[in-house]
Amino acid sequence: MSQRIILSSVLVCIISIRSRVAFTVFVLPFIYLGCQPGGSRLNVPSSYPMKYTVGEVDPRFGISRERFLTLVREAETKWEESAGTSFFEYDPTSNFFVNLTFDERQERTLEARQAKATLNDRESSIRSLMAEYNLAGGEQSRLKTRYEAELAAFKERLDRHNTAVGDWNRKGGAPPEEFAKLREEEKRIHEARLALDKTTIDLNEAVSRQNALAEKVNSLADQFNLDVSLYNGRFVESREFEQGLYDGKGITVYQFTEESDLRVALMHEFGHALGFEHVETPEAIMHRRLEKQDMQNPALTDDDLRLLKEKFMN
Ligand SMILES: [Zn+2]
């Protein structure tokens, strides 16, 4: 009695994974500091200390008069510390006003702050989805390793069995005892095949889950990147304006993002009030652009000190 047993091999399809996630880097704004209008050098008082008071402090800036005055004092003191003399003095009766005037510049700053907070939230969501994607990737590769091991074992077993069946068939058939063993092995191979199918399904499901996450992340990231470039176009590239102004009769600041840059802007305008023009060093307080200065610990650079020396220390 002969018995030929043929088992088919198993085909598994693995879906490819698209994992590109791109982020655009935020660009920080450049802000120009107000120039001293021509002729204002003549308005610089000849007697020191110059008296000043606080004028308009628009409540939309969200800073109290007291806090503003503190920052004004800190700003003017930076010049005085370096010179060892008093250039400015707070006097509520003075008619030299230091103002915080609200217009479309600060309005845009507030809009930009809101827009950036929204973008930051969305970036966090994308990053946590990416973490989920990476976890799913771990699960997927664990299942893939298991699948490959099971598949290799299955193939080996199947080959061994088919060879045995072939051998017996060539001898004209297997005796009943061998035939029963082969039948038993055929049953176990069938069970192994079912287990392998189950692993294949699990693996393909894990791949699908990961792909779905990749698609979600990619689509959110595409939209996010588009919104970042819109943000940059709206609030960064097109945003070059005068942040503050000294006009010989007072100082007005129109825009600030944080107290630190407000303080530096005030230092800059007090520099104009001392009669100083702009200098070339980007880190200098008297540079026309508020960008490279140390905002957290603002200090006069050599270029700023040179201005003081030229004017007061001859
Ligand atoms: Zn300036």
CA of 35 to the centre of ligand 1 (A): 4
CA of 277 to the centre of ligand 1 (A): 7
CA of 240 to the centre of ligand 1 (A): 13
CA of 13 to the centre of ligand 1 (A): 67
CA of 69 to the centre of ligand 1 (A): 21
Question: Which listed CATH number (2.160.20.10, 3.40.390.10, 3.90.79.10, 1.10.10.410) goes with 31-110+239-312?
Answer: 3.40.390.10
CA of 291 to the centre of ligand 1 (A): 13
* Residue 108 structure tokens: 């845009």
CA of 296 to the centre of ligand 1 (A): 20
Per-residue pLDDT at 219 exceeds 90: no
Q: Would you list the domain boundaries of the chain?
A: 31-110+239-312, 128-237
CA of 47 to the centre of ligand 1 (A): 22
Q: Note the pLDDT tens digit of each residue in 223-241.
A: 888 888 888 888 876 556 6
Residues 6+ apart with CB under 8 A from 93: 51, 53
Cβ density class 39-67: b for 16+ within 10 Å, e for less: ebeeebeeebebbbbbbebeeebebeeee
Q: Note the pLDDT tens digit of each residue in 100-151.
A: 999 998 998 899 889 989 998 998 898 898 899 889 889 988 998 998 898 8
| Chain center to CA of 74 | 32
Residue 250: half-sphere exposure toward Cβ, Cα within 13 Å: 16
Nearest CA to 74 out of 297, 314, 290 is that of 297
pLDDT band, very low/low/confident/very high, at 306 (cuts 50, 70, 90): very high
CA of 230 to the centre of ligand 1 (A): 29
The chain-wide mean pLDDT, for the chain, equals 82
Cβ density class 252-287: b for 16+ within 10 Å, e for less: bbbbbbeebbbbbbbbbbbbbbbbbebbebebbbbb
